[in-house]
Structure 1
Amino acid sequence: MRYWRAMSTDAFLARFGAPGASQPDPVAAAQSAMRNKLPKRFYETATVLERDGLFHVALDGKTARTPARNPLAVGSRPVAEALAAEWQAQAERVDPAHMPLTRLVNSALDGVADQHLAVRAEIVRYAGSDALCYRASEPEALVARQEEVWEPIRQHVETLIGARFTLTQGVIFAEQPAGTLEAFAGHVDAIPAPLALAGAHNVMTLTGSALVMLALADGHLDADAAWNAAHLDEDYQIGIWGQDEEAAERRVIRRGEFDAAVLLLKHG
């Protein structure tokens, strides 16, 4: 069975962080963050202010800043309002672990803006070994479920890009045609940088599928359908063996990161 290649928002920031910044190991960074005391909340209210054609997240009237000291300002009011809501929801201390959208927007503004070509190239590489192209050979119920849920997505993307993907069973690598990846790249190039592109990258890694990401971006799938398609194998196993409590908690966290990424993909 093929496992999803999920990347957290923090891992995304580690890969595409601020230009010139060191790239820390995400596990070590998380452990360090747990050892460090969270900063106290230093503001009363988080609001959205429109200035110079952008929507700024304002803390007590002053524009918030990213780790690289860029203004926390975006071109989309829905994104800015969601950012402000994250900041407003913080309690006595500011906990970045509960701010997936802020972390992703920070990575977009500080890193993706200058590295968008590398991000686009990685999305296309992902399509070269996409999870939807690797099918189970058994059991029959799983095979049928993959056919029911995944085939319409694959066929939609193929129609959209005008090219075909190669399918295989099991985990044996199947190289995709160069023309297919070129056609796919043309649609990836149309995703606006940096916000929508950052959202696209995280949707892709959290679902294990660049095809699911493109179908979501195109409007063929909504967020729930994309999430369910991505977790088809996992849900099949849960139906047989039940769900581990810690795994369930991790899935809730991933869903929060996924929803933040979808918001950027759709409104960034």
Structure 2
Amino acid sequence: MILTQEYRDLSILPVSNEKWLVIACDSSAGIGKKKQDAVEIDPAITAAFCLRVPLMELFCYGAEPIAVIDLIGNEYEPTGERMILGISAELVKAGLADIPLNGSTEENMPTKTTSVGVTVIAEIKAGKENFQMNETCSLLQLGEPFVGEQVVKNRERIFSYPLVKALRAEPGVMDMLPVGSKGIQYEAQLMTKDSEFQIHFLEKDGLDCSAGPATVILLAVKTDQEADILSRYAELKKIGEFKKR
């Protein structure tokens, strides 16, 4: 019997003594080209950003994606076809063009809103310990909180996969966590779970805004390496500090 471990939004399956599987997923509805969609946009973009969320979660954790499954709640032509194109293009951007892509579309019922779910399966070296804060450190922010139509208007401003991977490889970066609909404050507090630390924000504005499809990533950075990292990554800004209660 495989005992699954839940960590934040990830499911971790220790399938062997060498590697573990890590699973992340996301869904999107009401964003597309159908009659009752709340936001009108090319379904290819909808699906691409739906994929982006679990990819960011996995990259921030340090896991390497090995397969993607899309569950499209619409017909293949034209909606599903556009979504698959968007997912495939996003995999290229993430450097994952060659990993398997499988899925399903809805061919039995007519649909009036756009809907898609994406699951990404990744792997990581067995024995990885989940992050627990144990020292004073700085909170840095990558990106800005965008949602809905703002995501489309600001696509060129949203950070890239190579940048996220580079930051994850920095020795001074202790933890990274994408921000979604619950906002910066919620995710920053999640970073302190089961520890003696609490977050002190430099400013109070915008902490509860939705960051939609992971348009913000929070970084816990060692205090003595904060200045160096900020000097080399102009995309980052300091928004708080983690200190003992």
Q: Above 0.5 in TM-score?
A: no
Instruction: Identify, as 1 or 2, the structure richer in strand.
Output: 2
TM-score by length of structure 1 reads 0.22
Instruction: Identify, as 1 or 2, the structure richer in helix.
Output: 1
TM-score by length of structure 2 reads 0.24
